[in-house]
Structure 1
């Protein structure tokens, strides 16, 4: 079967992989949509810390069931999405109900080959029914679940002042779920183009470009107290370090993005604020369920989230242009 294979940084091509053998307890899925994620761009650029090349990328998936066990909850032709975080089920994190940060986790498209191909076979426990969603919406569930998980990790509450740093897909998803939790949301980014889109098409009212005046804007927005909760969704070590200054006394700082770098911060500032520093990794079935429910109820503007589409096997030709025009790309979805 044809597959998009990243052989090495900046080396993306079309190759052949064997059709996956479906084992007992697994579901064979015919891929129909694959969303492009920041992780995929980082893999292409050589900046993903958990990956070995070559790799078939892709973990934001939608497809139809091609084959499954007798007695399965799924039937051939069912539209499904996939929880791409495959846990071991035995480690300390799994025993504590946190399979998203399993010690031996295998993430489709990162640790093992993913969904930029024609078929994948995954454990039935990773397959999620999406009745009532379109294929495009089904492919958006995973990245939105990452935002929903971050908001749950940060315990966003009514009347919290929430700052989201980074207006890419994960940042916008985080902003949407923070607002649904009752928080007063502010979104900042270096791209005025992304912020204009988030404001005019997604409905995030308070935005600001990261420039020489942004600190004054954020201080004025919060009467000089800054934010009860800050979410970093940038993938930038420098932005993460800067974000510590935006957390209010008694506030919470949630690191959603992953970087290779070592992060440093001023301990006196951290301690005098009694700040909580919180990691947020991947998502759980609870987050997937919340996202699917929100889409069904019309709370997520999925038509506005999707900005680009193309044929999957055109990706090697398309990805340089997507990277060159990131300001206009929110969610790109490949089709088979």
Structure 2
């Protein structure tokens, strides 16, 4: 079975892996159709991804087709097209028993802690497959990306009364934007990249954008008639941005870290207490978010069309993947066609 392995930072290699049909109860064999390229994959290629070991088969944003099922199928049928929930939880730890499967103590994320979807076939638990025969493969491959933003907005309990600032207009920031729009909250987006802000305006329907610089706090107050955002999402994974984000929050506001980096965050404790801020981490997503997103796309409440800027071929990926790191390429979301 043809598999693409990231052997070490910066070096992919095609390898032959065994194809086995020895399914256990509650497993399905799936054929990989499309794989989304995520910031996690880019960080791993650079050698900057936390909790990561080499060699590793990347790929956790997956559109698949069910080939075989054994036992409990959760209603799945052979031939179903599915989005994959790539968070393989233990089901037994304290977090799992509280329904927090996204932060299971023994969590194995496909393509990060265990081998992922840059291969021809995978065996997966049937409960991690979310079918929709109405969605295209391209749409199914984007469900996991959207789930990251969906979970973050849910964590913050955003309502229509909030003023929301999203820092970072990459794919994770865009996924947050989608759900903030649905909440009805006032939305502002900031990024250092003017092209990404233009994309938000022209393709995502965002009306208020600001270029990120040292005057951002003042310009936010000017735009908001003296107020500041009640909820701030930092989707950059940039330490300087994440630590500066405390300044943008209103009194009694919330700061949500969606991105992460390998290092420590520090902040001025008296200011944090004076504002009585709530600091939240957001990790992965839970099952119901996947089903919600599929329903939204099926019913036209979310349009994934603007997201896909690059289509790549599996066979030539070792050659084309490095180009995704070049800002001049204007990558929003790249998809790899496996089959």
TM-score of the two chains, using structure 1 as the length reference: 0.97
Distance 1:272 1:124, change over 3 A: same
The residue that corresponds to 1:218 in the other structure is 220
Shift of 1:70: 5.3
Does structure 1 residue 150 correspond to structure 2 residue 152?
yes
Does structure 1 residue 17 correspond to structure 2 residue 46?
no
The residue that corresponds to 1:4 in the other structure is 4
Matches within 5 A, 1:174-323: 174-323=176-325
Which deviations, in whole Å up to 9, do the C-alpha atoms of 1:144-192 show, x marking residues without a partner? 0110000000110012100001101110110110110111111111111
Alignment match of 1:108 (pick from 92, 107, 110): 110
Q: Is the CA contact 2:26–2:72 (under 8 Å) kept in the aligned structure 1? A: no
RMSD: 1.3
Counterpart Cα distance in 1 of 2:243 and 2:292? 31
The residue that corresponds to 1:126 in the other structure is 128
Q: Is the CA contact 2:72–2:126 (under 8 Å) kept in the aligned structure 1? A: no
Shift of 1:71: 6.1
The residue that corresponds to 1:41 in the other structure is 42
Counterpart Cα distance in 2 of 1:109 and 1:71? 25
Counterpart Cα distance in 1 of 2:91 and 2:171? 29
Counterpart Cα distance in 1 of 2:216 and 2:19? 51
Shift of 1:224: 2.7
Q: Is the CA contact 1:4–1:116 (under 8 Å) kept in the aligned structure 2? A: yes
Q: Is the CA contact 2:87–2:109 (under 8 Å) kept in the aligned structure 1? A: yes
Counterpart Cα distance in 2 of 1:223 and 1:286? 38
Which deviations, in whole Å up to 9, do the C-alpha atoms of 1:275-315 show, x marking residues without a partner? 00011000001111121111112122211111111112322
Which deviations, in whole Å up to 9, do the C-alpha atoms of 1:310-335 show, x marking residues without a partner? 11232211122111136611111111
SS at match of 1:68: strand
Q: Is the CA contact 1:28–1:121 (under 8 Å) kept in the aligned structure 2? A: yes
Counterpart Cα distance in 1 of 2:224 and 2:133? 42
SS at match of 1:67: strand
The residue that corresponds to 2:51 in the other structure is 50
Stretches of structure 2 that go unaligned for 5 or more consecutive residues are none
Shift of 1:77: 1.2
Q: Is the CA contact 1:148–1:290 (under 8 Å) kept in the aligned structure 2? A: no
Give the 4+ runs in structure 1 shifted more than 3 A.
none
Counterpart Cα distance in 1 of 2:25 and 2:43? 34
Matches within 5 A, 1:90-109: 90-109=92-111
Stretches of structure 1 that go unaligned for 5 or more consecutive residues are none
Counterpart Cα distance in 2 of 1:207 and 1:130? 34
Distance 1:99 1:293, change over 3 A: same
Which of 326-335 and 37-46 deviates more? Answer: 326-335
Which deviations, in whole Å up to 9, do the C-alpha atoms of 1:68-106 show, x marking residues without a partner? 125632222110111000111111100111000000001
Counterpart Cα distance in 1 of 2:17 and 2:61? 19
TM-score of the two chains, using structure 2 as the length reference: 0.96
Shift of 1:225: 2.3
Counterpart Cα distance in 2 of 1:71 and 1:251? 44
SS at match of 1:131: coil
The residue that corresponds to 2:61 in the other structure is 60
Counterpart Cα distance in 2 of 1:212 and 1:90? 47
